[in-house]
Amino acid sequence: MLSLEEKILVYQNEGEGFEILSTVIFVGIILSGITYSVLSLRALAIYKKRIKDNFSSIEKINLQWLLRLVFGLSIIWVLVFFADDKIIFSSVVLFVVFIGYYGIKQVGIFTNKHALELSLTTESKEIIEQCIAEPQITKYEKSALTDSQLKAIHGELVHLMKQKKLFLTPELTLTMVAEELEIHPNILSQVINTVEQKNFFDYVNTLRIEEFKDRIAKYDYQKYTLLSLAYECGFNSKTSFNRNFKNLMGKSPSEYLKECKAMLD
């Protein structure tokens, strides 16, 4: 540990005699910045997938804001080596302001206790025990559900969606549907992924699009706007509706409506 006098001497001599130590510190700072950025981006990719596996609407809980903060912090790392102190400190202050803004604006994702709690029946507990019985080399490593079990649960899911039309609920979650079926969310997620070949987000929004198409085909609904119909079908924003519709149909809602009107004429 250097004394204050020694530190002053090093500073006055512009680091002479401590070149190796300075190089090690410089390399360490660069590596820590790169490592942090890479690990942060990897974690974001994992959580982004988790969101689509558990929520049907992600506009208010997406992690784009956090991605911007990671990029912002990476820029600060670069400025540390190439900019003067005034620019560095100004960028840090601006970064802290952005953290505060996004921190207040962003809602909780996995902190809702009600969304994470599930009262399991005896039957559902037995199914879970079967699911963790033998490990398999699949996406769901601990799952041992048979094809017949997958089809049975999927049949119950389809029946539930037709009867209660849960997909009309804008903030529908995987846990909410699992509670209706009295099974564990992980099992339901596996069923949707395996049978439907979709995550929960895509599955629910596909049902919403199909409901929209059914309603727009009815003459009574011709007097409603596209956006009002979209809200009735479970979408909570115009952006979400347009994006999901185009992803599924390959065309915008307005283009689809024009084709429908042309067919009627």
Average pLDDT over residues 193-197: 94
Given a contact cutoff of 8 angstroms between Cβ atoms, the answer to whether 245 and 255 are in contact is no
Which CATH number, 3.40.50.2000, 3.10.150.10, 3.30.360.10, 1.10.10.60, labels domain 115-264? 1.10.10.60
- Quick one: residue 57, left, alpha or beta (phi over 0 = left, psi -120 to 50 = alpha)? beta
What's the whole-number average pLDDT of the chain?
78
Which DSSP string do the residues of 91-156 spell out, in sequence order? Answer: HHHHHHHHHHHHHHHPPPSS--HHHH-----HHHHHHHHHHTSS--SSSSTT----HHHHHHHHHH
Strand partners, 131: none
The proportion of the chain whose per-residue pLDDT surpasses 70, expressed as a percent, equals 74
Average pLDDT over residues 184-193: 94
> Which segment, 84-98, 108-122, 188-202, is predicted with the most confidence on average?
188-202
Query: What pLDDT is stored for residue 18 in this prediction?
Result: 61
Task: Give the tens place of pLDDT for each residue, 10-26.
Answer: 556 665 666 676 678 77
Task: Give the tens place of pLDDT for each residue, 49-78.
Answer: 888 899 998 877 777 777 888 888 888 878
Domain boundaries along the sequence of the chain: 4-54+62-105, 115-264
Query: What pLDDT is stored for residue 15 in this prediction?
Result: 58
pLDDT over 50 (residue 129): no
Looking at per-residue confidence, does 92 or 118 come out higher?
Answer: 92
Task: Give the tens place of pLDDT for each residue, 30-57.
Answer: 788 788 888 888 888 888 888 889 999 8
CA separation for the pair 92, 89 (Å, rounded): 5
CA separation for the pair 92, 83 (Å, rounded): 12
What sign does the dihedral 147-152-162-264 (CA atoms) show? positive
